[in-house]
Each structure stands twice: as C-alpha cells, then as structure tokens.
Amino acid sequence: MRDATKTSVAPGSADEATAEPAAPAAPVRDAAKPRSLLQDAVRDLVRKPLFLVSSGIILVLVVMAAFPTLFASADPQLCELGRSLQKPSADAWFGYDARGCDVYARTIHGARTSITVGVLATLGSAVIALLLGLISGFYGRWIDAVISRGIDIVMGIPFLVGAIVILNSFRDEDGFRIGGIWGVLTALTVLGWMSMARIMRSTAMQTKQSDYVTAARSLGASTGRLMFRHVLPNALTPLIVLATISLGVIISAEATLSFLGVGIQEPTISWGVMINQSLGRIRESLHPLLFPAGFVSITVLAFIMLGDAVRDALDPKLR
C-alpha cells in the first residue's frame, strides 16, 4: 500500500516540491487515492487465508512443473525391476512402482504435463467461450440463436465419447495413436468451453443493457469499441471465476483420460498415466496409486479454492 502511494506520487513530485506551501490538498488526495476494481480485489485477496493457502500451493506446483530437477534428483525414466514395489524409504520418499521407477521423481516430473494441459486447455476454452459468448450476447437475435444452439449441440456430446473420438483421430503417418499432450489438449478444449460461453453470453447481454453502453453508443462509439472496451471488462468477472474453477476440473479430466489409456501415454509422464499404471498391482501395494492421486486432489482443490477466493473478491455484491 505504501509502495503504491509512493510510486504514483513520484512523477509529479518535482512540481509539488516547488509549490509545497500551497498544497494543502495533497494529504486529502492521498486518502482518496484512485483504486480500480481490480486493485480493490487484489487488496481483498491478499488478506484472505483461503487465497493465500491456495495460491501458495499453486506456486509450489508451478515451480515444480517448471523446474522439476529442483525437487527431485532421481531420473524418472530410470526403472529397475529389482526394486519393484519397494515401500517408501529415505532413499525414495514415495517408494517404487511395479516397474521399479521412482514414484517421487515421476510425480514431480508429471506435474509439468498435468499443469500445462490444465492451464492451456482452460485458456483455450476460455478464449473460445469469451469470443462466442460475447458475440452472441452482444448481437443477439439470429446470431445468438445459432451460437446458443451450437453450444447446446456440443454440450449434448457425452464427454468421454467425444474425447475418445477426438483422441483417436490424432495418429502419426503409420496410423499409431500419438500419446502426447496435443491430443488431450484439443479434446479438453473442444469439450470444455460451453458452460463458460453460456455465462459469458448472459453477462454480456446484461452488461449491454447498461446505461453506459447506451451512452457510449450515443457518443458515437463503434461496435468493436462497445464490445471490447465497454461490455467486455464489465462482463468478464464470472468467466474468470468459472475458468479458475474449471482448471481443477480439467486437470482431473486429463487424469481420467490418461487413466483410461486414451490420453497421454508413455514416455510422457503425467499423473493420470501413473494412476493408470498403478492399477495392475493395486492389491499388493497402494503407494504407487496414492501419491499421484493425492497430487491430483491437492491441485484440483487448490485451483477450486483459488476460484472461490477470486469470486468473492471480484463480486461486488458479496462485499
């Protein structure tokens, strides 16, 4: 707070210094320093334990995804059958899986895939939702009818069936299925934007009715300016919140697809892949399943908590 005040005063300070005695207004201005809605929200957020805890977890996970070697020195691809299914120990904190790979190293390295897929798929579907929702909410009439029915149709596709169809179309020249992250990303993006688009559409419709949009129109603003400068910033909040929440859902959806064997495949490591591999020997030892599954749960929880906190901070009605 103090820093913010300082930097904002700095540019004018040279003039102010010369006019020092005749500046009784200065302290008053400090008290009423302009704060945008976003700044207000940030101020609210940093005081919330829910936000601090969830963003702390997410920060750790992101660092983990970016620099896995900081956390795990062991090679995740080095598997020795001799240590198959060994229990957790000081050497290998999470033990070894059926093939004798270090579960801890694999979990840490798996964070990258899971979080990349989660973040990119959420961003992708949020962008689709934003554009389609904004256009249909702003223009209304037949454009809205076409887009809304389109949303209904895509929503009618059962998630798993749709995902399997999309993933099966990702094949290399020899006809083998590609198990990288692109297929999963596409599937999750294509099947994940609908509810966000609906929210965007309804808030855009609501915002469009505002007096300030009419006022801007009467002062000669073009359609593009009305849409992106006046409607969009005022209609964005619910979409941001829903996107944060759906990030968690998308990470678990990625795990689901990989677990079913249609998503990401070896040699790419992801939490879903690890869960899938652990199932064969589940009755002998549980730890190869529990650790990656636990990470999925914690990540999803952290993102949903973040979404909740962001919603509370951005929603003026809850102030």
Residues 33-52 binding another protein (CB under 8 A) are 34-37
Q: Which listed range, 178-186, 226-234, 262-270, 272-280, lies at the site for another protein (CB under 8 A)? A: 226-234
Kindly tell me which residue out of 69, 77, 89, 214 binds another protein, with binding defined by CB under 8 A. Answer: 214
Kindly tell me which residue out of 46, 212, 228, 284 binds another protein, with binding defined by CB under 8 A. Answer: 212
Does residue number 7 form part of the binding site for another protein (CB under 8 A)? no
Yes or no: say if 268 and 181 are a contact pair by the CB < 8 Å rule: yes
Does residue number 5 form part of the binding site for another protein (CB under 8 A)? no
Q: Least distance to another protein from the beta carbon of 45, Å?
A: 17
Does residue number 31 form part of the binding site for another protein (CB under 8 A)? no
Q: Least distance to another protein from the beta carbon of 204, Å?
A: 14
Does residue number 29 form part of the binding site for another protein (CB under 8 A)? yes
When the beta carbons of 202 and 265 are compared against another protein, the nearer one is 202
Kindly tell me which residue out of 219, 283, 317, 319 binds another protein, with binding defined by CB under 8 A. Answer: 219
Does residue number 20 form part of the binding site for another protein (CB under 8 A)? no
Q: Least distance to another protein from the beta carbon of 211, Å?
A: 4
* DSSP assignment of the chain: -HHHHHHHHGGGHHHHHHTGGG-THHHHHHHT----HHHHHHHHHTT-HHHHHHHHHHHHHHHHHH-GGGT--S-TT---GGGTTPPP-SSSTT-B-TT--BHHHHHHHHHHHHHHHHHHHHHHHHHHHHHHHHHHHHH-HHHHHHHHHHHHHHHHS-HHHHHHHHHHT-B-TTSPBP-SHHHHHHHHHHTT-HHHHHHHHHHHHHHHTSHHHHHHHHTT--HHHIIIIIIHHHH-HHHHHHHHHHHHHHHHHHHHHHHTTSSS-TTS--HHHHHHHHGGGTTT--HHHHHHHHHHHHHHHHHHHHHHHHHHHH-GGG-
Q: Least distance to another protein from the beta carbon of 1, Å?
A: 17
Does residue number 18 form part of the binding site for another protein (CB under 8 A)? no
Residues 182-211 binding another protein (CB under 8 A) are 210-211
Residues 229-258 binding another protein (CB under 8 A) are 229-230, 233-234
Does residue number 149 form part of the binding site for another protein (CB under 8 A)? no
Residue 5 in tokens: 């005040």
Q: With contacts defined by CB under 8 A, how many residues of the chain interact with another protein?
A: 24
Q: Using CB under 8 A, list all residues that contact another protein.
A: 25, 29, 32, 34-37, 210-212, 214-222, 225, 229-230, 233-234
